[in-house]
Homo-oligomer: A and B are copies of this chain.
Amino acid sequence: MISGQGTLPTGTRRQKWWGWGEEGKSYPLEDRPRALPFLNQILGLSGNEISPRLTLDQIRLRESRADGRLLVKLRSIVGETNVTTETRERLVHAMGKGYQDLIRLRRGIVPNPPDAVVYPASEAQVAAILEYASQRDVSVVPFGGGTSVVGGVEAWPREEGGLLLALDMTRMNRVLAIDQVSRTTKAEAGIMGPDLEEKLNHAGYTLGHFPESFEYSTLGGWVAARAAGQKSTKYGKIEHMVEGLRLVSPSGTIATRDVPASAAGPDLRHLLIGSEGIFGVITEVTLRIHRYPDRMEHRGILLRDFSSGMRALREIMQSGVNPPTLRLSDSAETSAFAALLRRPRKTIDRLETRLGMWLMARRGFSLESGSLLIMGLEGTEGEVAEQKRIVLAECREAGAFNLGRGAGETWHRGRFELPYLRDVLLDRGVMVDTLETATTWRNLENLYLRVKEAMEQAIASMGAKPFVMCHVSHAYRDGASLYYTFLAKQIEGREVEQWREVKKASCECILENGGTLSHHHGVGLEHTPWMESEVGRKGKELISAVKSTLDPRGVMNPGKILGTTPEWRGT
């Protein structure tokens, strides 16, 4: 039914409507004998909990309200086959992939499915759609891979009962240029992570942007949400990679110049990056790229504790090297990592593992109290050697047990798999979500402890046993980000409410203690209640003023960033 320049859109068609990633792909627990016992123990589960989900046939989706006039107009813009009101497509485009989304999708609670999904193939088509939508007050949700975990792509009309379109960008997936002299690439915003990276690799380059959602997210989505990737400590967050971009709004197109730096007034790029679709649709991006590294290496290192690990990370970053990955888990996450290890297949591997454990214990380290650092090094041979020298020296200084390349490669192989594990946990009646923040080095441990405590208290206050784990996901010279995962047994019938309590307690705690509302997930719908605490009243007014200029009818991705009126959200 849908054709993207002759081929199927690469994005949502293959994805599960109720969970992460492709249909048929799951997180294998069979050869991880410690996983379920660990889970049952930390959350106080019997192991018999199940949380059933509806089948597609059982979902009763509200009928599309798209009228003939709307559909005829859209078809005249994008072509007959690139508009759909099909149930599955409307369902996949109704929400992102946050915990709250999956809980509702599995139970068939989809209050605002889009009335139609439209697949433009060019900037001109996007402009025509937005112009028409603005005239008719039809709300438009720009949709890339749909992997937002903060409600950034949730179908949400401007007013209750209003018409709503999902604008799927995945047909706009061309690489327009690779400039090997300036080391930049220009691509359409709907291109998926692997497609862009593969084309760059083929020419000898890498973008260096690998969010956990990499396989299913788009360039435009990364830019709209100010994403970070697993190698961003070297390559930067997406906002550092963007040299220039184009955004189509209902009132016209805005383009920044492709120049390395400028002093021609405020930098409007940074107003469009992170705008999450509320101003318009990012259609094209020019990105800085890097020579494909000669060498990549991943290692696991066990630090005595999280605190000394954080100090080591700071020393590394402030020494001037930029290893792409420095992922430091607290003791809870380290023990979870250990519980998820696969059973060694060969006798020799089993013996090696045992020997390693024995050595580790003899030296006073443990996977229960220690802090696992995954370090990823990459660059020329010389750069990798220098990164390694400094990282290992700082770790030795802090007291460390080198787990070697095996632990690092295990993490690297499975680096896009964890969202699949969430579906397994959801099946077993477990609440599991992540949230993240960033702060300065001086404040990092304080913020870490306070947010963890706030989460644990919020979960416990509702009668469940909390398990909160955390890692430092991205490090800078002046600070770092903290990435939390919180788990508990679901409270049946109150799943969303339970989750909201944790979210609320966490966000309030973050803002009271010098963190930021998000380091790389974005604001979406979920964080809007705290945007005023984050940017102040004036800050929100500025964002509103820009929105009014670009989207005077308010049709673009309603409710995101700026929030909706409390009455309309029913809170």
Contacts and interface: CB of A to CB of B under 8 A. Distances in A.
Interface of A: 179, 181-184, 225-228, 237, 239, 243, 249, 251-276, 288, 291, 314, 318, 320, 379-380, 383, 438-443, 474, 476-481, 514-523, 527, 531, 534-539, 541-546, 548-550, 561
B440 A271 contact: no
A481 B263 CA distance: 11
Pick from A288, A479, A514, A543 the residue with the most CB of B within 10 Å.
A479
A537 B252 CA distance: 9
A544 to B, nearest CB: 8
B478 A264 contact: no
27 contacts: A182-B442, A182-B479, A183-B441, A237-B263, A252-B538, A254-B542, A256-B535, A256-B539, A257-B516, A258-B440, A258-B514, A260-B439, A260-B477, A260-B480, A263-B522, A264-B516, A264-B534, A265-B535, A266-B270, A266-B271, A266-B543, A267-B273, A270-B270, A288-B478, A542-B546, A542-B549, A546-B546
Contacts of A481: 260-261
Contacts of A269: 270
A542 B535 CA distance: 18
Contacts of A534: 257, 264-265
A438 B265 contact: no
Pick from A181, A288, A519 the residue with the most CB of B within 10 Å.
A181
A474 B542 contact: no
B274 A181 contact: no
A546 B265 CA distance: 12
A177 to B, nearest CB: 10
A151 B5 CA distance: 51
A530 B263 CA distance: 13
A474 B443 CA distance: 34
Contacts of A182: 440-443, 478-479
A255 B536 contact: yes
Nearest to A243: B478
Contacts of A271: 266-267, 270-271, 542
A190 B262 CA distance: 23
A263 B226 contact: yes
Pick from A258, A261, A519, A527 the residue with the most CB of B within 10 Å.
A261
Contact of A383 (B251, B255, B320, B516): B320
Given A318-B183, A320-B383, A438 B274 contact: no
A181 B518 contact: no
Contacts of A561: 265
